[in-house]
């Protein structure tokens, strides 16, 4: 991985995108934001990232469809779902599809930072496991 961890925020609400960028931007994270799933997937085609913070309800492509596509094309990307409409059903579906975690809006800044760091560590661990010699787990 590069010096700065790459984070992509996909959310149709500008205030949420700005808030997530403010919380995460700094020495450790390089944060990009887009306002819908199609734009997010286009960006990922050009510039893969380490972690995606993903809204569920957006115009056009919904977050579950975006999550499915990310996990099919880029399974190494960790995805954190952050939704203003949480439910047990969508939480279960997101986790079954490979989301790292699921948060309800409004999410506390400390929770956003904590879950993002956890997702980064999960990705680093996954990359470490892939590079381990055969027979060592």
pLDDT, residue 137, reads 46
Hey, what domains does the chain have and what are their CATH numbers?
5-131 (3.40.50.2300)
The pTM (predicted TM-score) of the whole model is 0.88
127 alpha carbon, distance to own chain's centre: 17
In 118-131, which positions are buried (b, 16+ CB within 10 angstroms) versus exposed (e)?
ebbeebeeeeeeee
In angstroms, the CA 15 to CA 64 distance is 22
Lowest mean pLDDT, pick from 41-55, 76-90, 114-128: 114-128
Q: What percent of the chain has pLDDT over 90?
A: 82
Tens-place pLDDT, residues 87-110: 999 999 999 999 999 999 999 999
Average pLDDT, the chain: 90
What's the CA angle centered on 7, arms 68 and 111, to 5 degrees?
A: 90
| Token pair of 3 as six digits | 């010096």
Tens-place pLDDT, residues 36-61: 999 999 999 999 899 999 999 999 99
Phi and psi angles of residue 112, each rounded to the nearest 5 degrees, phi first: -65, -45
Q: What percent of the chain has pLDDT over 70?
A: 88
pLDDT at residue 127 above 80?
no
């Amino acid at each position: 991985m590069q010096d700065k961890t790459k984070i992509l925020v996909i959310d149709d609400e500008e205030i949420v995108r700005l808030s997530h960028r403010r919380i995460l931007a700094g020495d450790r994270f390089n944060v990009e934001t887009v306002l819908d799933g199609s734009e997010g997937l286009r960006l990922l085609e050009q510039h893969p990232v380490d972690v995606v913070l993903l809204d569920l309800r957006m115009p056009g492509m919904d977050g579950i469809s975006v999550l499915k596509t990310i996990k099919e094309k880029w399974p190494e990307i960790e995805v954190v779902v952050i939704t203003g409409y949480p439910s047990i059903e969508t939480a279960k579906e997101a986790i079954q599809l490979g989301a790292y975690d699921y948060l309800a809006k409004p999410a506390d800044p400390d929770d956003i930072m904590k879950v993002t760091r956890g997702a980064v560590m999960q990705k680093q661990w996954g990359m470490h496991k892939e590079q381990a010699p055969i027979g060592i787990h």
